Amino acid sequence: MKHKYHYTYKITDLDTNKFYIGVRSCDCKPEDDVKYLGSSKTFKPKNYRKEILCSFPSRRDANIAEMGLIRMNISNPLNENRHIPGKNGNKLYMIDLSKL
């Protein structure tokens, strides 16, 4: 089943300012997708803000944007993303990171 909406998001812990960047596909409008808090197994803030960074016409476009956003923030000590998606051999992400 194809989803209608694809977006990148940022969840910020308002107590520590740590953040997590992710991608999501859903059938509701991104701004209405309030219950989804990301796929991180370790980052589960109690007091948080979820920002929709950008919406995309396809999951592939959203994945590429997520990869670029994480790459730009990977060395930030507040970033809770543990790796750049696609570094594990997932063919969906096999693009030249230098072009992002």
Domains of the chain by residue range: 5-86
Question: Helix, strand, or coil here: 2?
Answer: coil
Calpha distance 18→48 (Å, rounded) = 10
Domain 5-86 maps to which CATH number in 3.30.70, 3.40.50, 3.40.1440, 2.40.160? Answer: 3.40.1440
pTM: 0.81
Enclosing H/E stretch for 56: strand 48-56
Calpha distance 25→32 (Å, rounded) = 12
Tens of each residue's pLDDT in the chain, 100 residues = 678 999 999 999 999 999 999 999 999 999 999 888 777 778 889 999 999 999 999 999 999 999 999 999 989 999 998 877 765 544 444 444 444 4
Q: How many CB atoms lie within 10 A of CB 16?
A: 11
Calpha distance 41→38 (Å, rounded) = 9
